[in-house]
């Protein structure tokens, strides 16, 4: 009986699926700044009198945090298998404190995404090194594109016209998520701020009708370049109930620098929770000479580094930069926030979730001019774990099976462990009494032969189930072709045939032997194993570490099966698809087990599902 797991996968979008909830059409971007230490050298020859960022002299080096992902395949001798580990360690060196140079206004040209000749926010001087093709940042005195409609800033909060104009430029939600489009797509008024807007009265901002704010966390690759107002802005805005995101202004010239910027950004933001994405602000004139391939690599390096730490990440820049300097493949992976001023809608034709439509807005509580934004995506809704746990299943396709009744409220979350012979002789009574293991996923074996059954499988499954601990199993794969995967499935069936399971039967595919295989080959191997198990009446799932799931298996394929993801030392997995279990550490401890053990969370009521639909031996 062929089961199409779109169902379970869909409502299995457990807590923490932050990244690609709206991957189909909800890009976003953020506010921009101008360089710091680079400004002195960059603009010496133009005698610029203004800079958006602080000028800084730095004689330090920063050792970036390290992220290590080590996967050691299982063998017949006990070893440690680490699926994915992110271990940040930051060596902070002393730096000179940046001095703030107050910006002054020139009257010659526009400098940030605008056609108003007297606006000089966040940019250079009277001339620029290259003309832009639209009325955005750093334009020359004569623009080459006439906007279809001029948008004044007299009434900065009259955004319904902007919202309506924008509807044709952004999609709503990924239909596979089964989220209510009316809740996913929502217009909200926002601002983005930095130390250029000092001493903000956030009570007045809230009373003015602002619903969200994107705060500059900092710029560059040194911890000393943290925005001095970031903590104040975050704490006071959140206290007023304003939804918050953050951005980091980049000067990176290569991938290594971009990773350093991401690591420093993480150090600055790690103690806060966000309901809007963290944006990579890439727009600096010092990066103009870089190729599209270089800019795309820099952008991906920053974004993937933060995404690996569990953050929803976005890209911010002005329209021309987004269209000409970043590959669409990169933009499609992240939220986009586009800047284009004094037009009825941005000329950017890609997907975006926030539009920064002026740099000369005014808001009660903010001294001077401030960037104004409109968001078209309900980020607080799509980034909340509760959205995916509580959302009722109304249109899932599991053949003739209706699993609506298995969606639980309040939110379902069970603690579990996964074990094998490497944990030795487990005292299951002590495990049960600890209250730390509601369920256990037990290795049944590995490879293609029945003789490769896990030596402790029978003992573990019988003892755990006799104590009322719900169980599932996994089979570790070494298959490099379809035939090998089918042989492994047959061996697995032979080993587990006398038992029933409350949790799925997982295909554990992560071994380095698959590294040289293409995505199509890995898909075919996984499909061969899972489809064979389904034919025998088992509810099958896939388990691997985050990067493997993202890079080696097709999204549409993953949506068919239960997913169990491994990602350590992060607030939530960086994987943006649906998953029902998360293995969050390999160094856990629990009574009854000597040494370390993998710890997991389950977000789906699998036991009820198996029993109701008579799967896995029920």
DSSP string across 356-412: EEEEEE--TTS-S-EEEEEEEE-HHHHT-HHHHHHSPP-S--BTTB--GGG--SS--
Cis-peptide into 410, omega within 30 deg: yes
Give the range of the structural domain holding residue 469, as residue numbers without chain letter: 6-17+390-612
CB 610 within 8 A of CB 618: yes
Let me know whether 225 and 255 are in one domain: yes
Q: Provide φ and ψ at 516, rounded to 5°.
A: -90, 0
Alpha-helix residue ranges (DSSP H) falling in 119-192: 160-166, 181-184
Alpha-helix residue ranges (DSSP H) falling in 167-284: 181-184, 202-207, 230-239, 255-269
Alpha-carbon separation of residue 509 from 193, 248, 545, 582 (angstroms): 45, 36, 9, 15
Let me know whether 245 and 360 are in one domain: yes
Q: In the beta sheet, which residues pair with residue 280?
A: 248, 315
Let me know whether 356 and 420 are in one domain: no
CB 478 within 8 A of CB 517: no
Q: Is residue 274 part of a domain?
A: yes
Q: What is the DSSP letter of 55?
A: B
pLDDT at 237: 96
Q: Is residue 91 part of a domain?
A: no
pLDDT at 409: 35
Counting every residue written for the chain, the total comes to 618
Query: CA angle, corner 142, sides to 139 and 145, nearest 5?
Result: 80
Q: Provide φ and ψ at 285, rounded to 5°.
A: -60, -25
Q: Please state, as a whole number, how many other Cβ atoms lie within 10 Å of the Cβ of residue 450.
A: 13
What tokens does 607 get? 């036991």
As a whole number of angstroms, the distance between CA 297 and CA 304 comes to: 10
Query: In the listed set 382, 398, 433, which residue is the last one of a domain according to the structure?
Result: 382
**Residues 6 or more apart whose Cβ sits within 8 Å of residue 607:** 439, 470, 502, 503
Let me know whether 272 and 349 are in one domain: yes
Alpha-carbon separation of residue 54 from 37, 122, 228, 429 (angstroms): 7, 11, 10, 61
Let me know whether 519 and 483 are in one domain: yes
Q: In the beta sheet, which residues pair with residue 92?
A: none
Q: In the beta sheet, which residues pair with residue 600?
A: 416, 583
pLDDT at 100: 36
Q: Is residue 541 part of a domain?
A: yes
Q: In the beta sheet, which residues pair with residue 243?
A: 212
Let me know whether 397 and 376 are in one domain: no
Let me know whether 276 and 409 are in one domain: no
Q: Is residue 73 part of a domain?
A: no
Q: Is the pTM of this model over 0.75?
A: no
As a whole number of angstroms, the distance between CA 31 and CA 259 comes to: 20
Query: In the listed set 382, 413, 429, which residue is the last one of a domain according to the structure?
Result: 382
Q: Is residue 124 part of a domain?
A: no
**Low-confidence residues of the chain: pLDDT under 70:** 1-182, 385-411, 556-557
Query: In the listed set 349, 382, 415, which residue is the last one of a domain according to the structure?
Result: 382
Let me know whether 359 and 226 are in one domain: yes
The rounded mean pLDDT for the chain is 73
Number of domains observed in the structure of the chain:
2
Q: Which CATH number is 290's domain given?
A: 3.20.20.80
What tokens does 16 get? 């923490």
- Residues 117-171: pLDDT tens digits? 333 333 333 333 333 333 333 333 333 332 223 333 333 333 333 334 333 333 3
Q: Is residue 119 part of a domain?
A: no
Q: Which 3 state secondary structure label does DSSP give 429?
A: helix
Q: Is residue 127 part of a domain?
A: no
Q: Is residue 122 part of a domain?
A: no
Q: Where does 461-618 show beta strands of DSSP type E? A: 470-476, 505-508, 540-545, 562-566, 581-588, 597-602
What do you get for the CA distance between the two ends of the chain, in Å?
14
Pairing of strands 562-566, 354-361: unpaired
- Residues 181-219: pLDDT tens digits? 667 788 899 999 999 999 999 999 999 999 999 999 999
Let me know whether 377 and 394 are in one domain: no
Let me know whether 284 and 394 are in one domain: no
**Residues 6 or more apart whose Cβ sits within 8 Å of residue 430:** 591, 592
What tokens does 230 get? 């970031």
Q: Provide φ and ψ at 455, rounded to 5°.
A: -60, -25
Query: CA angle, corner 340, sides to 228 and 26, nearest 5?
Result: 85
Let me know whether 352 and 299 are in one domain: yes
Let me know whether 369 and 406 are in one domain: no
């Amino acid at each position: 009986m062929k089961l199409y797991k779109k169902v379970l996968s869909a409502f299995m979008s457990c807590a923490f699926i932050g990244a690609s909830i709206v991957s189909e059409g909800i890009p976003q971007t953020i506010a921009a700044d101008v360089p710091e230490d680079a400004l002195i050298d960059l603009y010496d020859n133009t005698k610029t009198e203004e800079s958006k960022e602080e000028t800084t002299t730095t004689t330090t080096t920063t050792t970036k945090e390290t992220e290590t992902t080590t996967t050691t395949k299982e063998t017949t001798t006990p070893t440690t298998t680490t699926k994915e580990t992110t271990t940040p360690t930051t060596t902070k060196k002393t730096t000179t404190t940046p001095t703030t140079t107050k910006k002054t206004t020139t009257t010659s040209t526009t400098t940030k995404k605008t056609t108003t000749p007297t606006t000089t926010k966040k940019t250079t001087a009277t001339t620029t090194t290259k003309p832009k093709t639209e009325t955005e940042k750093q334009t020359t005195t004569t623009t080459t594109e006439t906007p279809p409609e001029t948008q004044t800033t007299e009434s900065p909060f009259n955004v319904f016209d902007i919202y309506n104009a924008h509807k044709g430029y952004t999609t709503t939600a990924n239909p596979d998520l089964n989220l209510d489009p009316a809740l996913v797509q929502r217009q909200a008024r926002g601002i983005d701020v930095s130390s250029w807007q000092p001493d903000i009265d956030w009570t007045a901002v809230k009373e003015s009708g602002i619903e969200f704010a994107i705060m500059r966390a900092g710029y560059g690759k040194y911890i000393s370049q943290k925005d001095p107002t970031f903590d104040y802005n975050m704490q006071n805005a959140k206290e007023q109930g304003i939804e918050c995101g953050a951005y980091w202004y980049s000067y990176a010239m290569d991938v290594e620098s971009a990773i350093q910027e991401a690591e420093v950004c993480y150090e600055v933001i790690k103690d806060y929770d966000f309901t809007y994405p963290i944006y990579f602000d890439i727009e600096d004139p010092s990066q103009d000479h870089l190729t599209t391939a270089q800019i795309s690599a820099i952008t991906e390096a920053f974004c993937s580094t933060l995404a690996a730490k569990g953050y929803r990440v976005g890209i911010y820049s002005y329209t021309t930069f987004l269209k000409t300097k970043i590959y669409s493949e990169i933009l499609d992976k992240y939220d986009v926030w586009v800047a284009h001023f004094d037009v009825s809608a941005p000329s950017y034709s890609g997907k975006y979730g926030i539009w920064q439509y002026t740099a000369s807005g005014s808001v009660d509580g903010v001294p001077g001019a401030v960037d104004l934004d409109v968001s078209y995506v309900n980020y607080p809704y799509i980034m909340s774990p509760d959205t995916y746990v509580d959302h009722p299943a109304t249109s899932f396709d599991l053949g003739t099976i209706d699993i609506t009744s298995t969606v639980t409220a309040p939110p379902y979350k069970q603690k579990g462990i996964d074990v094998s012979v490497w944990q030795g002789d487990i005292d299951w009574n002590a495990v049960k009494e600890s209250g730390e293991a509601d369920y256990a996923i037990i290795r049944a074996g590995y490879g293609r032969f029945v003789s490769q059954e896990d030596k402790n499988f029978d003992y573990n499954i019988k003892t755990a189930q006799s104590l009322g601990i719900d169980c599932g199993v996994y089979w570790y794969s070494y298959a490099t072709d379809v035939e090998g995967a089918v042989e492994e499935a047959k061996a697995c069936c032979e080993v587990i045939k006398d038992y029933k399971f409350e949790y799925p039967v997982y295909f554990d595919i992560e071994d380095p032997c698959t590294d040289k295989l293409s995505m199509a080959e890995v898909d075919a191997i996984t499909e061969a194993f899972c489809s064979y198990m389904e034919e025998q009446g088992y509810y099958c799932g896939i388990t691997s570490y985050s990067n493997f799931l993202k890079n080696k298996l097709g999204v549409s394929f993953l949506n068919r099966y239960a997913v169990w993801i491994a990602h350590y030392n992060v607030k939530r997995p960086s994987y943006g698809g649906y998953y029902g279990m998360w293995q969050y550490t390999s160094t856990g401890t629990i009574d009854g087990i000597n040494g370390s053990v993998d710890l997991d969370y389950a977000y789906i009521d699998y036991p009820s599902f198996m029993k109701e639909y008579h799967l896995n031996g029920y």
